[in-house]
Structure 1
Amino acid sequence: MTEMIARLQQIADRFDHVLLDQYGVLHHGKGVFVEARDCVASLHDRGKTILVLSNSGKRSADNLHRIAKAGLEPALYDGVLSSGEVAWQGLRDRKSVPFTQVGRRCFLVTRGPDRGVVDGLDLELVDLEAADFILLAGLDDGDTDIGAWRERLAAAAARNVPMLCANPDLTMFTDSGLLPAPGALAQFYEGLGGAVSYIGKPHRVIFEAALQALGHPKPERVLMIGDSLDHDILGGRNAGILTLLVTSGVHREALVGSTDITGSLLRLAGSAARMPHWAIDRLVW
């Protein structure tokens, strides 16, 4: 069962490598939490390998810049691997499923004018009606009315247009609060009969890429720290690595202040196989 801890140092001897979620753990889109920054520094000082693993549809360099701007110096950790980066590399190399199964004509869904996830790729950006596949990397706040997509996506599903979802998160933090994220739109497309391949957490592709980036360590010496049972914890458990849930993140309304954290977690997780090894209120050394 899940053990509640007050500080990460309590379990620091259990792991050599850290996969660290970004939103809800390091920050909420603005400044890095002071205690989280100090915790990362302490991990770095003790020789732990630290890789930020993010369900961001943007590429790794964009996330590195964003995290630095928020207040976490790149020198304190070993790199960033985003789902957008894994998608970009997969579309560049075309060596494995699902990237070998899509064509060149791409309908791109992303935030604002950002095209980083397709820059330099042999793709032709087209309207949905002419697309071989959909690349879902981000959603503008104004595009989060999922039902408004029904007509266009139903037509694409009827044409068997596959979707690559480079951000499987179901919700995202915005100035207006929590809104549906790209993963919610991808699930909606599946409900319409569309075929979706997910690139980020909790799916196999990104965890394989992360372990490769860490130099193929023993999974039982790797700790995934995240705030989502559905993404960080499930993905970590499926990859055979250790897991720590930050309870003040996406599940905070259900967990913060609970007098029975194990019971509350089990109700959220649905089964013991989806439970984290440990839980902590916030990332504190």
Structure 2
Amino acid sequence: MTRIIASLSDISQPYDALLCDLWGCLHNGVKAYPDAVAALQQFRAKGGKVLLLTNAPRPATFVITSFDRLGVPRDAWDGVVSSGDAAQDAMFAGAVGHKVWHLGPDKDDGFFTNIPTEWADAPPIERVPLEQADGIVCTGPFDEMTETPDDYRARFLMAKTLGLPMLCANPDLVVDMGDRRIYCAGALAALYEEMGGQVLYFGKPHPPIYDLARRRLAAMGGVDEGRVLAIGDGINTDIAGAQGEGFDSVFVTAGIAADHFGPGADHPDPTRLNDWLAAHHQNPTYAISLLR
């Protein structure tokens, strides 16, 4: 049964590295959570490694540039691996062709323009209109503040008719930006699959992002996989991914699923929590209301 804990320090001693989610755990898209920052700083001060593992559909360099705005200090982490990193590798390898329709906001342009060194000599990726594309690269809605997946049914019908595969650069369905819930690329990809389209996923809970995380940990000096702890608020992404990879995990209950565990974000009801986890066929090692 999942053990509810009060703080990360209660159980951190056996672990050498954390794979920590960002949105809903370390920040809410507007500002960092001070207690979460302090928890990561304390873990690092004792010699642990912190790898921030996010389903953001942008390369890690662009994720890092947002930290000053959000208030995430440099001494709270050792490295960042994003869904965008793993998805970029697949795109430049030609997973959905080299003429692609980009479904996503302008802020994700770096996914195409920031070419990793190892792909500098690869055939170029050309962004084209849907009817000219070999495939789709989805990083989110064009307007994440107003649009829903249903706004794309007509275009997805055309894409399916054309037989276009979709590369989904962020498997998350929704995130909370401050007090507003917005749709992510994963919700669009789920609709495309429901309509019969083919989708390739590269963020949590799928293996490519964890393969990349392992390579980054190895570059930091290597970590025993039995001493890695994953932290996240996404039951079908962070926790399912950790379970599939054999990592212990901490489920943050006051994140995206907070409404399921009773009133008061700081005190999840144990019965509601365990019933909900059983219904989702997940068994995180630990649960905590907020990362602290």
**TM-score of the superposed pair, with normalisation by structure 2:** 0.89
Unaligned runs of 5+ in 1: 95-99
Q: 2-side partners of 1:178 and 1:270: how far apart?
A: 23
Q: 2-side partners of 1:205 and 1:91: how far apart?
A: 13
After TM superposition, list the pairs within 5 Å mapping 1:1-285 onto structure 2.
Answer: 1-92=1-92, 94=93, 100-119=94-113, 122-139=124-141, 140-142=143-145, 144-174=147-177, 177-215=180-218, 217-257=223-263, 260-270=269-279, 272=281, 274-284=282-292
| Letter of the 1:37 counterpart | V
- Contact 2:145/2:182 (<8 A) preserved: no
| Letter of the 2:70 counterpart | A
| Cα distance change, pair 120–226 in 1 and its aligned pair in 2 (3 A) | closer
- Contact 1:255/1:265 (<8 A) preserved: no
Aligned-residue offset at 1:49: 0.7
- Contact 1:248/1:256 (<8 A) preserved: no
| Cα distance change, pair 259–162 in 1 and its aligned pair in 2 (3 A) | closer
Give 3-state SS (helix, strand or coil) of 2:111's partner. Answer: coil
Aligned-residue offset at 1:268: 4.4
- Equivalenced residue count is 277
Aligned-residue offset at 1:102: 2.3
Stretch deviating more after TM superposition (48-57 or 175-184): 175-184
| Letter of the 1:32 counterpart | A
| Letter of the 2:237 counterpart | H
- Contact 1:161/1:195 (<8 A) preserved: yes
Give 3-state SS (helix, strand or coil) of 2:56's partner. Answer: coil
Aligned-residue offset at 1:142: 5.0
- Contact 2:19/2:231 (<8 A) preserved: yes
Unaligned runs of 5+ in 2: 116-123
% identity of equivalent residues: 32
| Cα distance change, pair 259–280 in 1 and its aligned pair in 2 (3 A) | closer
Aligned-residue offset at 1:217: 3.1
Runs (4 or more) in structure 1 with deviation over 3 Å come to 256-260
Q: 1-side partners of 2:241 and 2:256: how far apart?
A: 16
- 1:102-131 Cα shifts (integer Å, max 9, x gaps): 211011122235310011551110011111
Q: 2-side partners of 1:148 and 1:127: how far apart?
A: 17
Give 3-state SS (helix, strand or coil) of 1:244's partner. Answer: strand
- Contact 2:137/2:168 (<8 A) preserved: yes
Q: 2-side partners of 1:19 and 1:259: how far apart?
A: 23
Name the structure 1 match of 2:121: none
Stretch deviating more after TM superposition (130-139 or 107-116): 107-116
Aligned-residue offset at 1:40: 1.1
Aligned-residue offset at 1:231: 0.6
**TM-score of the superposed pair, with normalisation by structure 1:** 0.91
Q: 1-side partners of 2:106 and 2:179: how far apart?
A: 17
CA RMSD of aligned residues (A): 1.9
Aligned-residue offset at 1:282: 0.7
| Letter of the 2:18 counterpart | V
